[in-house]
Chain A
Amino acid sequence: MDFSFIVVQLISGLTMATFLFLIASGLTLIFGVGKVFNFAHGSFFMIGAYVGYQFSSVWGQNFWLSLLCGGLFAGLLGMVAEFFFLRRIYGRADEGGFQILLTYSFILILDDLVKLVWGTEYKSLAKPPALSGAISMGGIVVPTYNVAVIAIGLAVVVAAWWLLNNTRGGRIARASALDREMLSVLGVNVPMTMTLVFGIATALAGMTGVLAAPLRSVTPGAGIEVIIDSLIVVVLGGLGNFWGAWLAALLIGEVNSFAIVLVPKWATLFSYLVMALTLIFKPEGLFAPRKVRRV
């Protein structure tokens, strides 16, 4: 394995990690703030991709506009789902089970709605022409689009960091993870915060859907396919831990990337192995949130 190959493989891992992170970050945000586990997160990813397809391929709009609209639509849908449905089960006994069921029902319903609207044929979305080439440097070739994806992923990390630390909204989001009651005493509208966070997270998922579409095929059933991988990242990073999710995505991306080279026959086992091994030693994940109840 020569040096340039290692670099290439590292970058490949980074591309994978970016997509993992972009989906998982929303999932972990929702969990961190509202203690809600959104099993349907992948479905918002899928909806985003389809809306992006509608704008870009059917209506011939610019890719970036489609990206925006896909994100917006998924975000709005997410807020509707939270406001009209999820909110009604907060605080119920055994809420966890009901969350899983309710969001699972979203998956089933959204899957069929997508089929009703767009059919089962594979849809496809073209890259923006400016990003269709590849960057080549000293024997290292990386598609421009992949570089853009990695850059967008980094931008999201930086933006999230800034937002969480320097804005009132960010502080509220962080604080509400710690103590819902305290915040409502302080006059913060906690339910509205939750709806907003849900909207932001699902919008992120929707945008990621559009972003991923030129590299994949847009098909029904994508919601269920991406959720388990994202889940691994979220659990590994410590549920509700934004930075943990980022590092876990990097870990999974790079481990996979090199497992493919070194032990191609067993590569698909590695995500699960990494997760199982980590959890045996650190059952709360690599970066546990503050309050973990051990029994």
Chain B
Amino acid sequence: MPSKPKTANTWYLLIFLVLFSLVPVLKTTNYQMLLAAHVLVWGLFAVSFNMLFGVTGMLSFGQALYYGMGAYGAGLCVKYLGQAWFFPGMALGIVLAAVTAWLLGHLIIRVSGVFFTMLTLAFGQLGWQVMFKWYSFTGGDDGVQNIIPPGLFSNKVIYYYLVLALVGASIWFLGRLSASPMGLILRCVRQNPERVRFLGRRVRRNQQRIYIISSLFTALAGGLMSGVDYSIHTDMFYWTTSGHVILMSILGGIGQFFGPLVGAAVIVTIEDVVGAFTEYWSLIIGTVMLVMVLGLPRGLMGEISQLWTRLPGRQQALTTREEGN
């Protein structure tokens, strides 16, 4: 991921915040706000996932585990302790996710590449199976319903703004992180772990760190989702959820910080539009994916920024700036 001039990312973030904060004002139906909230939550999930994959080069196929933990932290607390426990429950889920990521990290960050991917998948599926089987406590595949955020936040518009604020702050933080020395060293870990070791840095320690951070924000996304949908399901733990977020990231562009967010927006929209007019959605989404993977390997944002840098005038500006250095 080339480190963008920081102003570009700041602008993107601002545009993103303004656009999404206008949704409740401009919407014509409540559903549009719901979709926007889905884009926000999936966007956060995808951006945190991409801190692992696009930035550090760790393709985890088990992030659904943390997404589910965030959601079930909030959901189960509401189910057993009452509505007021929504936010403490979410916090509990996030803490649990971080602790789990720390523990599991020790086990699975011993291997790299496809082995790492398979291990994350294995533990993710184990988590799903446990949640699915532990019927008496988790409600199994029936899930938990009626998870309504307490007080003021039971108002959908207010909750939407809460989601926007938390997602915005998280993305801001992750953006800062990826432009910081920590982000730089993580990108270096992806590109050349051997060299990172020769910088006197510990590769695994850095991977472990970002694995925990990514899982933590993933859990936050899960927790927020439980309040958007008012219900949670064991599907949230299933590997297809992890697959979904991989799809979003690659579609949007894993080399761009905002790529996964754009990918999330596109996928959520496509699913909605295509699902509404045909039952052959899987054929259509499959074909779109096929074409994207073969034709636009950098993802939407990646191709756009590529076009941008290739503009003739722009090229000149770049050269002069470099010479000025």
Find out whether A and B make contact in their complex, taking CB atoms under 8 A apart as touching. yes
**Chain A residues within CB distance 8 Å of chain B:** 31, 35, 37, 85, 88-89, 92, 94, 96-98, 100-102, 104-109, 111-113, 115-116, 228, 231-232, 235, 239, 266, 268-269, 272-273, 275-276, 279-280, 283-284, 292-295
CB distance from B203 to the nearest CB of A (A): 6
> What's the nearest-Cβ distance from chain B to residue A119, in Å?
12
Quick check: B289 and A283 within 8 Å, CB to CB?
no
Binary CB contact string for chain B from 285 to 325 against chain A (1 if under 8 A, 0 otherwise): 11101100110010000000000000000000000000000
What separation, in Å, do the CA atoms of A60 and B203 have in the docked complex? 61
A205 to B315, CA, bound (A): 51
Which residue from A113, A231, A292 sits with its C-beta under 8 Å from B283? A113
Closest 9 CB pairs of A and B: A108-B286, A112-B283, A105-B289, A109-B286, A108-B282, A105-B290, A272-B126, A105-B286, A295-B112
B178 within 8 A of A: no
- Minimal beta-carbon separation of A264 from chain B (angstroms): 12
- Decide yes or no: A283 and B130 within 8 Å by CB, A37-B114, A292-B115 being known contacts: no
Instruction: Give CA–CA (A96, B119) in the complex, Å.
Output: 14
The binding surface of chain A is classed by DSSP as helix
Docked-complex contact B129 and A295, CB < 8 angstroms: no
Q: A101-B293, A104-B247 are in contact. Are A235 and B118 (CB under 8 A)?
A: yes
| Contact between chains at A106 and B286 (CB < 8 Å) | yes
Please name 10 further chain A to chain B contacts, defined as beta carbons within 8 Å, in addition to the given A97-B246, A101-B289, A109-B286, sorted by A numbering: A85-B290, A100-B243, A104-B247, A105-B289, A109-B287, A266-B133, A272-B122, A272-B126, A276-B123, A280-B107
- CB-CB under 8 A from B114, the residues of chain A are 31, 35, 37, 96, 239
* Majority secondary structure of chain B interface residues (helix, strand, loop or mixed): helix
B contacts, CB < 8 Å to A: 53, 57, 59, 61, 107-115, 117-119, 121-123, 125-126, 129-130, 133, 193, 203-204, 207, 239, 243, 246-247, 250, 254, 280, 282-283, 285-287, 289-290, 293-294, 297
Give Cα A218–Cα B220 distance, bound, in whole angstroms.
41
In the complex the two chains form, what is the Cα distance from A104 to B59 in whole Å?
15
Closest to A97 in B: B59
CA distance A161 to B23 in the complex (A): 63
Q: State A47–B164 Cα separation when bound (angstroms).
A: 45
- In the assembled complex, the Cα of A102 lies from the Cα of B247 at a distance in Å of 10
Q: Is the CB of B122 within 8 A of A279?
A: yes
Query: Which single residue of chain A is at the shortest CB-CB distance from B123?
Result: A276
Contact A294/B293 with A228-B239, A239-B118, A279-B122 known, Cβ cut-off 8 Å? no
Chain A proximity of B101: nearest CB distance (Å): 16
Contacts A104-B247, A231-B118, A292-B115 known; A92 to B297 CB distance under 8 Å?
yes
Question: Assuming the A-B contacts A294-B111, A295-B112, are A108 and B285 also in contact, with contact meaning beta carbons closer than 8 angstroms in the complex?
Answer: yes
B34 to A: closest C-beta gap in Å: 25
The smallest C-beta distance from B295 to any residue of chain A, in angstroms, reads 10
